[in-house]
A and B are shown apart, each in its own frame.
Chain A
Amino acid sequence: MVIVRLLVWVVLVALIPVRVTAEAPNRHNVDFSGSWELDYQLSDHPSEKIRYLYIQARAQAERAAERAQKSGRYVDPRIFNVQSVVGLGRLTEKIAQATVLTITQEDDHIVISRNDDFALVCDFGEMGWKENAIGIEGCAWDEDQLAFQIALPDGLSVFHQFSIAADRSRINVATTVKVSGVSYPFTLNRVYMPFEPGEGMFECTYTIANQTSCTLSGRNE
Chain B
Amino acid sequence: MNKLHGLVVVALVCFLGGCGTPRTDPEQASLPEPVDVALVVFQDTEADLARLNLSIAVFDVKSEIENSIYSSKIQVSSVERRYLPFRLKETLDRAGFWGAVRVMPQTDLNSEINVKGTVLFSDGVELRLQILAVDATGRVWLDRIYHDVTSDLDYSTDPSYQIDPFQDLYNRVSNDLSDMLGSYTKLDRDLLLNVAMLKYARELSPETFGRYLSEDMGVITLNGLPSEDDPLLQKVQRIRESEYLFADSVDQHYESLHKQIGPTYAWWRYYSYELIEGNRKLTKVDATRGATRGSWYAMERIYKTYKESKMNEDALRELTNSFDRETEPTVAELAGSVIRLTGTLDRQYEEWRRLLRELYRNETGY
List residues of A whose CB falls within 8 A of some B CB.
5-6, 9-10, 12-14, 18, 84, 87-88, 90-91, 94-95, 108-109, 111, 113, 117-119, 121-123, 125-126, 128-136, 150, 152-154, 156, 158, 179, 181, 206-209
What residue in chain A is nearest B282 (Cβ atoms)? A133
Contact (Cβ within 8 A) A209 B14 = no
**Shortest Cβ distance from residue B349 to the other chain A in the assembled complex, whole angstroms:** 30
Contact (Cβ within 8 A) A209 B302 = no
Q: Produce 1/0 per residue, B259-297, CB < 8 A to A.
A: 000011001100100000001101100011000011010
At the interface, yes or no: B182 with Cβ under 8 Å from chain A?
Answer: no
- Which residues of B lie under 8 Å from residue A88 when comparing CB positions? 296
- Which residues of A lie under 8 Å from residue B20 when comparing CB positions? 126, 128, 130
State whether A208 and B267 are in contact (beta carbons under 8 Å apart), knowing that A91-B300, A123-B68, A126-B20 are contacts in the complex: yes
**Shortest Cβ distance from residue A50 to the other chain B in the assembled complex, whole angstroms:** 13
Cα A103 to Cα B29 with chains together (Å): 35
Cα A121 to Cα B316 with chains together (Å): 13
- Which residues of B lie under 8 Å from residue A134 when comparing CB positions? 282-283, 287, 302, 305-306, 309
**Shortest Cβ distance from residue B313 to the other chain A in the assembled complex, whole angstroms:** 7
Contact (Cβ within 8 A) A18 B7 = yes
Q: Produce 1/0 per residue, B311-351, CB < 8 A to A.
A: 10110011100110110000000000000000000000000
Which B residues, 8 to 66, have Cβ-Cβ distances below 8 Å to chain A?
A: 8, 10-15, 18-21
* Neighbour of A129 across the interface among B19, B282, B302, B309, CB < 8 A: B19
What residue in chain A is nearest B280 (Cβ atoms)? A133
Which B residues, 211 to 263, have Cβ-Cβ distances below 8 Å to chain A?
A: 263
Cα A5 to Cα B14 with chains together (Å): 11
12 interchain pairs, CB-CB under 8 A:
A6-B12, A119-B317, A121-B69, A123-B68, A134-B302, A134-B306, A152-B302, A153-B288, A154-B294, A156-B299, A208-B322, A209-B264
Cα A9 to Cα B17 with chains together (Å): 13
- Which residues of A lie under 8 Å from residue B144 when comparing CB positions? none
* Neighbour of A132 across the interface among B21, B264, B293, B326, CB < 8 A: B21
State whether A132 and B300 are in contact (beta carbons under 8 Å apart), knowing that A126-B67, A181-B294 are contacts in the complex: no
Cα A156 to Cα B297 with chains together (Å): 12
**Shortest Cβ distance from residue A60 to the other chain B in the assembled complex, whole angstroms:** 21
Shortest Cβ-Cβ A-B pairs, 3 listed: A118-B310, A87-B296, A109-B69
**Shortest Cβ distance from residue A206 to the other chain B in the assembled complex, whole angstroms:** 5
Pick the most buried of B7, B298, B317: most chain A CB atoms within 10 A of its CB: B7
At the interface, yes or no: B352 with Cβ under 8 Å from chain A?
Answer: no
- Which residues of B lie under 8 Å from residue A128 when comparing CB positions? 10, 13-14, 19-20
Contact (Cβ within 8 A) B299 A179 = yes
- Which residues of A lie under 8 Å from residue B313 when comparing CB positions? 118
At the interface, yes or no: B307 with Cβ under 8 Å from chain A?
Answer: yes
Contact (Cβ within 8 A) B314 A119 = yes
Contact (Cβ within 8 A) A118 B4 = no
Contact (Cβ within 8 A) A150 B306 = yes
Cα A95 to Cα B287 with chains together (Å): 16
Contact (Cβ within 8 A) B307 A118 = yes
Cα A209 to Cα B159 with chains together (Å): 10
- Which residues of B lie under 8 Å from residue A156 when comparing CB positions? 299, 302-303
Cα A131 to Cα B326 with chains together (Å): 31
Contact (Cβ within 8 A) B318 A5 = no
- Which residues of A lie under 8 Å from residue B323 when comparing CB positions? 208
- Which residues of A lie under 8 Å from residue B263 when comparing CB positions? 209
Contact (Cβ within 8 A) A126 B68 = yes
What residue in chain A is nearest B12 (Cβ atoms)? A6
- Which residues of A lie under 8 Å from residue B288 when comparing CB positions? 153-154
